Structure 1
Amino acid sequence: PIIGSPIGGGKVIAFLIIVALGGLGGLAGYRWNWGIWWRCALIFWIIWILLYTTFGTNFFPGIRSGVWNSLGYWVVQQGEARGGQPWYYYFVGLSVYELLPAVFGIAGAIYFLKKGDVFGLVLAAWAALTFMAYTLASEKMPWLLVNVTLPFILLSGKYLGDLVERVRWRDILRRGQVLLLVLPSAVVVSAVFLVFKLVTSQGSFLGGQWMVVAVTALVALAAAYLIRTAPKPAGGALAGLGVAVLLLGFGTVAATRAAYTFDDSNKEILVYAQGSADLPVTFRKLEEKALPETPGSEPSVLVDYDMWYPFQWYVRKEQDNNTVRFNCFKAEGDEGWNSGCDPASDDTESRALLLTKAHKLSSTTSLMKFQRHGPFLDLLWFPETYRRPHENRQDEGFQWGLRGIPSGKQFGEDFRYFGQAATSKEKWAKILGYMLFRDLDTDWYKSEYYSYLPK
């Protein structure tokens, strides 16, 4: 059975749970506003089914995966605690990529708690419980940041909507207080600049930087004056909206940099294990020099099985027509060896080979037969510089045997480290350098490979 799927009598229980939850959702929608609810539900399920079934090409397995198996698999993985991430992992992820929903989500929770807004409190509870659940879960992965962020996005969106409604825009424009959309944001940008200059310099500020301090102070005073003289709810609301626009820009830059930088130059926390930019280049070289136009009975290219992920993505069609095959090249005694493994040698029959660094060929015969290129980067892992140096969380222990809940000793060591970092110029320089520019003085953790192409 697929990991996470119900077996035996569990299938009946799973079915009853799905029907019960679906029925409760439908009942809630009927009692709330059936005319709106069923239309929203229809839109949701159409999108959901199209995505989970890969637009209908994987129908029943996709439905099964989306309704039950995906969550079931994740629950099963809690015993494995893959990644072994610290409890504060999602604090790091939110601060790097999702400052807007995090900052205004927290502000919104406080606002709705004071105001007593029922819907706002529901969103705040959802955000808080989700964050707590994923923080206590033992398996923490970068892609799960989406699940953590979603309720914060809705919470911060409602709060910002309330701020917009508190502003009488005609009055504000007539009085010139629309500058509050700009001045507080300018103060924030200037303050970050000054802190960055302070922690990255050897001494104190230079003359020009003291000028920036003076101008920042004047702008802050002007902003405070405008907030004070604006109609009471509107001044603070305008300042908040201006900062929100600034954080939206920060998040947009971070998202664009993470999604559209293809040369591996930016070391992103979102990367758990990803293929390097060398892999598609190597595939194109195989297409040019080794892959035949018409498939034969034997594969033309043999690839080290240790490269299966993620190179399989590029050669999935070639695997289907048997022009590329993954082989185990481990020697007896190597970890993971089995009777089907056969180390690569000068006698290996293939027009081209891709071998991990551990299995490379270097004899004169093989180098006469092939043109060796490399080493190239295969898998990349983020170097996890947010961890406490020399930590050993297994030895430090967990509460009640649950690997997602740290022991008192872990908490003590972590907060001692946080205290040291908070007073260290070097740490602040590294934090700001990474958040602003993705500067990191530690390279990727990586695996490497060689290509052997026809001469």
Structure 2
Amino acid sequence: MSVPVEQPRQSIWATPLSALGKINWDVALLVALLLIAALTRFYDLGSAAWSHDEAIHTHWSNDLYMGRGYIHNPIYHGPLLYHATALAFFILGDNDFSARVMPVLFGLVLLAAPFLFRQWLGKRGWVVTTAMLLISPVVAHYSRVDRHDIYVEVFVVLLALAIMKYLAARKTNWLYFAVAMLAFAFTAMETTFIFMALFGYFLASAFTFDWFNQRMPASKMANAALAAVFGLPFAFLAVILFILEKFGLWRDKHTPEGESAFDVAAFDLLLVLGTFLVPMGATPLFIKYGFAGINRLFGAALTTDPTDYAAVASIQASGLALVFFIVASAAVGLIWNWRKWLICAVWFYPIMLILFTTFFTNPAGIGSGFVGSLGYWISQQSVQRGGQPQYYYFLITLPMYEYLPYLFGGLGLLYILWRRSWKRAALFAGVAAFLAALEAYIWFTPGIVQPNPAAADAGWLLQNFPLFGGKDSLQAANFTVLLLGFLMPLFFALAYNPDDESTRFPTLLGVWSIGVLVLFSWAGEKMPWLNMHLAIPLSFVAGYFMNDVLRADWRALFKQGALWMALLFTLGLLVLAFQFFFGPAPLSGTPLDDLAARSSAIVAILIIGACTGGVVYLGMTLGLKNALRVLLVTLFGILALFTIRTTASAAYYNKDMATEVLVYAQGTPDVPAAMREIAELSQRLCAGNANDAKIQVNCENGKIKVAYDDDSSWPFVWYLRDYSNAQFYGKKPGGPFDAEVVIVGDANEAEVKPFLGNRYFKRQMRLVWWPAEDYKGLTWTKLFGGVDENGNPAQGFLQPENFKKIVRDIWFYRKYSYDLNSWPYVHRFSLYVRKDIANQLWQYAGVVPQTAVEDDPYTKQFVNDLQASATLTGSEGGFNNPKNMALGPDGSVYVADTNNHRIQKFDAARNFVKAWGGQGSAPGQFNEPWGIAVGADGAVYVADTWNHRIQKFDRDGNLLGMWGAFGDVGEEYDSNLMELYGPRAIALDKQGNVWVTDTGNERVIEFSPDGEALDAFGGTGARHCH
């Protein structure tokens, strides 16, 4: 055997200067793109108002930075963001700019990631992918706010890189890197479970395909189908066979002696990543479903809520379940390769433990992290938070913002299959079109998943398949999205070839991009920031596709007229779009106007015809393949320019405006404006510059005193962090105010106003707002027009004039029928400034008299001490955030013990009688009952808030009936009266009818005592009665 001779290493001093000066153009281009990204991402970073969620994130991060600690709560996702933001505060101080620095830095890492994929994306594809991520409206917007999504996406993309690198070369360091990325992803956000399900599916199907292909090489299509459908269950079987083989209890006859069929890279990744994923995924599932079986079999009372640790027995059982799955997984890993697995564990568990426990200061973080991460979001699946329709991503957000990767990613998926065979691409396109049509029929036809107003039923699917439909029509509609999930195994079967490694990466991209579209549409919570998880894999697919499109001799094509073809195509397309969307319609005005419209249309037709003829002529010169290449590049460029405009609007110009669908529960510009006024007052009053030295001012550390309530706390808790004498008074103050400024949310205005008296000047401002959501509840009639359920003519969104108006006004200009000052989807607050100091601000000068303010007589009548006539102590465990109480006709007192999920009854002497309920959704159980009322006959009515229903009991707690199910009716406040959205309060009138505040639907509904819907009033915005 010949031994290669090692060449001596050349000294750098012996290297020619010409070689040292050689430019690596790939690196230079990456640096240039990252510089552009840094300049645009850091520009004006801290000026946008804080959203509701962002205020929570930065406030908790500031607590950690200030030494007040951090306790992980899965409601607010993983701990990584809070530690990263606290680190930014440590380096740069806590301010509006530093709070958003880390998302920008992680966004730059994300933009650099395609460079690491260049061996698969190609030298052009990685540039296209990075450029698409640079100009992406969703990525740009959400890498400039302090949210979790950008963090998890970085680690998920790098995990995909590690998977591809390990599959290509099987170098152990990439296995360790994959485990580390998995750990960081789990500490960032729970969407990691979705990504791991998709990556796990790809690895399991690839391993299964290879397995069957080695044994049945002649049945490749059958093997592909088996792998695509049964890949995941076969992977579990393979692990069992592997263990049996290790102990000599089984041997594969198709494998030569001394070798193992499991000694392949895909199985390594499956087993190693699985041993760390299984404890976090299996434990909460076992608690939810396994404990239920244990309770039935043995009469135990273990919790089936993975986030409920009220009972010691439940904590112990949950801990034992977690330990069991960790030990079992570790045993499998040690059997596989004890040395490598231990190194992986040293990477995974310290990262998880350090961050979830905040450097071991919060031991409970072990449970909330390892069990609660998935457990909480399992419990939230049925809540359908946001109430977005199942077509939210498919038809609303992606076409509005990410139309470039949406279109070219879709074309890229077909191209991946076309490279193997045009028949495969045609089959996939045909099935996709059929499923899309089927989904549209299911979604938009009343009576299938949507309620049918004419028949007054809940929908065919919900009536006949309640297991799949869940509790409400929205859940049933979301379930039907899984029909589109068939496209993922179909794509895998058509794209993957175990004998061709070049099919591995595009197959992974296809599974990833199709999978996120389906699973995020199926998930109960659909929010605008989750669009990032859809846009990124689609951008990778588009980059992969465009790499091959751009692979041509462009100099030769230009000589043959490619540039003229591109210009003619662009001109024709722009004229067509301008004429359709902006041109005047014939027969829409005076004869002179009509003549102008006809003339304009004729000129447009002539130009379009000439451009079309030129494109066809030049296309014949170039050939079909090159002509398509030129047209695709031209279309890509046009859409890229429009995308840059969309990004400028979404991430900069309208970054905190509700005219953007990406803006959700967003603080309005009024909030920082109010803070600037407060800061100016502080500067003038606390620096000894007040006009009247006799004014009494509460100054501390150069800041005036500001009082705020629980309805305005987010985002003001962040803005007031430096106001050491800020006063948080909850829903109602304990006495009259002396603060210079009082902030009151609309919900508490009536309670707080008596404590303000006539001593304050009021300005109403906007606190948080939401985008318009007229797209909810679409039907064929709402889309194309016709006759509505009442027999009246109805206009459709897609009728030409309406469609033009929507695209022109909303999609292009972000203009709505109401302006921002009268925006209906807003929550307001009032800024109260003490009259004696209000003239220190020019905004109030001349409005407030300069005379001294008389004492408010209310302050003299205020009683500081009230003596309780009776105290209710409740049953064992007492009360936990009781929201309401009611008095029975016999003097009995009923208390809604909200966070204990029960009702407690006391007799007329205030002695405890009984309690009933318990957390759950079964009849007689509650999920945070907020409201309670008692009728003249002693019947007890309970607003079972988060079960979205009303329950009726007799005076002893026996269930008499219940009605209601979850539903978000949008602006149709007088429709679907049996659909409730978090009912909060309940009252009875003299006739015994039941009045319910359907809070989430912003209406009040009147029911009969037996639950028959009688009437409703209210609705969203100032246009309706409140």
Task: Please confirm whether the aligned pair reaches a TM-score higher than 0.5, indicating the same fold.
Answer: yes
2:561 maps to 176
CA contact (8 A) 1:112 1:120 kept: yes
1:90 to 382, 393, 402: 393
Secondary structure (helix, strand or coil) at the match of 1:353 reads strand
Q: Deviations over 1:345-373 (max 9, x none)?
A: 7x223221011245167679744x3332x
2:809 to 428, 433, 440: 433
CA distance in 2, matches of 1:187, 1:76: 53
Counterpart in 2 of 1:452? 832
Q: Do the aligned partners of residues 441 and 27 (structure 1) sit closer, same or farther apart at CA in structure 2, a change above 3 Å counting?
A: closer
Inter-partner Cα distance in structure 1 for 2:566 and 2:650: 28
Aligned residues of 2:658 and 2:769 also touching (Cα < 8 A): no
Of the three residues 700, 721, 733, the one matched with 1:342 is 733
One-letter amino acid of the counterpart of residue 280, structure 1: P
1:81 Cα offset (Å) = 0.9
Cα 1:379–1:192 change in 2 (3 A) is same
How far does residue 314 in structure 1 lie from its aligned partner after superposition?
1.5
Please give the per-residue CA displacement for 1:177-223, whole angstroms capped at 9, x wherever unaligned. Answer: 22233332332222221111358776363423421221122112211
Measured after TM superposition, the shift of residue 24 of structure 1 is 11
Post-superposition Cα deviations, 1:291-330, rounded to whole Å, max 9, x if no partner, equal 858637x981101210112222222333xx3x2232223x
Structure 2: which amino acid aligns with 1:302? A
Could you give the per-residue CA deviations for residues 152-182 of structure 1, whole angstroms, max 9, x where no partner exists? Answer: 11111111111001x2212112222222333
Instruction: With a CA cutoff of 8 Å and minimum separation of 6, indicate the structure with the bigger relative contact order.
Output: 1
Whether the 8 Å CA contact 1:371–1:452 is kept in 2: the answer is: yes
Alignment of 1:105-254 (within 5 A): 105-116=409-420, 118=503, 119-165=505-551, 167-197=552-582, 203=588, 205-254=597-646
Distance 1:40 1:243 in 2: 42
* Structure 2: distance between partners of 1:193 and 1:427: 14
**Counterpart of 1:384?**
773
* 1:223 match: secondary structure: helix
Which AA in structure 2 matches 1:101? P
Flag the structure with larger Rg.
Answer: 2
RMSD (Å) for aligned C-alpha atoms: 4.0
Query: 1:104 matched to which residue of 2?
Result: 408
Looking at structure 1, the residues matched to 159 and 522 of structure 2 have their Cα atoms a distance apart, in angstroms, of 30
1:284 aligned partner: 676
Change (3 A) 1:142 1:362: same
Aligned CA distance change for structure 1 residues 140 and 263 (closer, same or farther; 3 Å): closer
Deviation at 1:34, TM superposition (A): 5.1
Corresponding residue for residue 715 of structure 2: 310
**Residues 194 and 213, structure 1, Cα contact 8 Å, conserved in 2:** no
SS in 2 for 1:280: helix
SS state of the match for residue 535, structure 2? helix
Letter in 2 for 1:159: F
Deviations 1:3-28 (A, max 9, x none): 3699xxxxxxxxxxxxxxx9999676
SS of the residue 1:313 aligns to: helix
Correspondence for 2:728: 326
Relative to structure 1, is the Cα distance of residues 59 and 186 closer, same or farther in structure 2, using a 3 angstrom cutoff?
A: farther
Residue equivalent to 1:396? none
Contact 2:710 2:728 in 1 (8 A): yes
Query: Which residue matches 1:255?
Result: 647
Residue identity opposite 1:82 in structure 2: R
| Equivalent pair of 1:278/1:378 in contact (CA under 8 Å) | yes
Query: Is this contact kept in 1: 2:670–2:765, CA < 8 A?
Result: yes
Aligned to 2:799: 423
Q: Quick check: 245-254 or 32-41, which moved more?
A: 32-41
Identity across matched positions, percent: 22
* Paired residues of 1:306 and 1:356 also in contact (CA < 8 A): yes
User: In 2, Cα distance between the equivalents of 1:379 and 1:284?
Assistant: 17
* Structure 2 CA distance for partners of 1:213 and 1:32, relative to 1, 3 Å: same
- Alpha-carbon distance change, 2 to 266 in structure 1, aligned in 2, over 3 angstroms: closer
Instruction: Give the aligned partner of residue 788 of structure 2.
Output: none
Contact (CA 8 Å) 2:765, 2:830: kept in 1 or not?
yes
Contact 1:315 1:324 in 2 (8 A): yes
Shift in alpha-carbon separation, 1:25–1:181, aligned structure 2, 3 A: closer
Q: CA shift at 1:224, angstroms?
A: 2.1
My pick for the range that moved more, 357-366 or 182-191, is 357-366
Conserved? CA contact 2:675–2:719, under 8 Å: yes
The answer to which of 103-112 and 69-78 deviates more is 69-78
Whole-Å Cα distance in 2 between the matches of residues 25 and 155 of structure 1? 14
CA distance in 2, matches of 1:73, 1:433: 40
Q: 1:64-115: CA deviations, max 9, x gaps?
A: 8999976665444212210111111002100010010001111111121121
Query: Are the counterparts in 2 of residues 382 and 444 from structure 1 also a CA contact under 8 Å?
Result: no
Residues 264/74 of structure 1: CA separation in 2 closer, same or farther (3 Å cut): same
Change (3 A) 1:104 1:444: farther
Change in Cα spacing, 1:168 to 1:67, as seen in structure 2 (3 Å) is farther
Separation in structure 2 between the aligned mates of residue 37 and residue 233 of structure 1, nearest angstrom? 43
Paired residues for 1:49-64 under 5 Å: 60-61=355-356
Shift of 1:258: 1.1
CA gap of 1:262–1:131, structure 2 versus 1, over 3 A, is closer
- Aligned residue for 1:375? 764
In structure 2, relative to structure 1, the CA distance for the partners of 1:376 and 1:93 (3 Å cut) is same
Report how far residue 236 of structure 1 moved: 0.5
Q: What TM-score do the two structures reach when normalised by structure 2?
A: 0.35
Counterpart AA for 1:3: P
Structure number with the higher helix fraction is 1
Alignment length, in residue pairs? 392
For residues 365 and 307 of structure 1, what CA distance do their matches in structure 2 show? 17
Q: How far apart are the structure 2 equivalents of 1:435 and 1:376? A: 27
Q: Sort the Cα spacing of 1:260 and 1:28 in 2 relative to 1 into closer, same or farther, 3 A.
A: closer
After superposing the two structures, state which structure 1 stretch, 285-294 or 142-151, moved more.
Answer: 285-294
Distance 1:453 1:274, change over 3 A: same
